[in-house]
Amino acid sequence: MLTTTYVERRQRLETYFDRTASDTWAQLTSTAPVSKIRATVRAGRDQMREILVSWLPESLTAKRILDAGCGTGALAVIAAHRGADVVAVDVAASLVSVAGERAPIDPAPGTIDFRVGDMLDPAHGSYDHIVSMDSLIHYPRDEIMTALASLASRCTGSIVFTFAPKTPLLTVMHAVGLLFPRSDRAPAIEPVSEAFLRKSVASDPRMAGWKVGRSARVVSGFYTSQAMELVRA
């Protein structure tokens, strides 16, 4: 069940990406020139995407993948080229529109179904693997666990996702809002400790049958994010 906090955060993210910073994020995720600060974010996101994709099986032929919070679709395209049938979901219609425009007409050998909606909606179906890159970073730690539990209930293979690691520097940066200029600053990012997530996955009855696999952190200027893999125990 979606909590009030989750729904409120989701609505703020939808407003931010669709009304406030649609053009900014479309540019950030393109190859167009950007400021030095945003260049570090772009480089960090590219590195993180490579890590998450590398944690999926080499062959994704006939595998069903959920790209939960697909943004402008770069990861979905990579997975489809490796044979996956991808359902790519994002709450922001403007980003999904950009994703559709950028995606190849034929992403063979796989397919991509871009959708506007809530990544946790069970109507999207079940999957072999789920990827969620920088989509949970705006939610408090308890909401992250609720989201992971929801995704885990519809996944038979693995879940790879990112969170904002709780480091002293990152906590201060987020507290004073230095990630972007005030005019297009995203909703607050919620740093979470890796220890909390590991303990929660091990003890939360909703995550029974799952365990933490690999973990990796990417730091690139103003971009800091940590990847974590959940696999069947």
Q: What is the pLDDT of residues 45-63, one digit of tens each?
A: 999 999 999 999 999 999 9
Confidence at residue 177, expressed as pLDDT on a 0 to 100 scale: 55
209 or 26: which leads in pLDDT: 209
182 or 7: which leads in pLDDT: 7
> By C-alpha distance, which of 1, 152, 182 is closest to 68?
152
pLDDT in tens, 101-158: 999 999 999 999 999 999 999 999 999 999 999 999 999 999 999 999 999 999 999 9
Question: Angle 174-180-186 (CA atoms, 0-180°, nearest 5)?
Answer: 70
Quick check: bond before 109 cis, omega within 30? Answer: yes
Q: What is the mean pLDDT of the chain?
A: 91
pTM of the full structure = 0.91
Burial of 196 by CB count in 10 Å (0-12 exposed, 13-18 middle, 19+ buried)?
middle
The values of phi and psi at residue 159, to 5°, are -125, 125
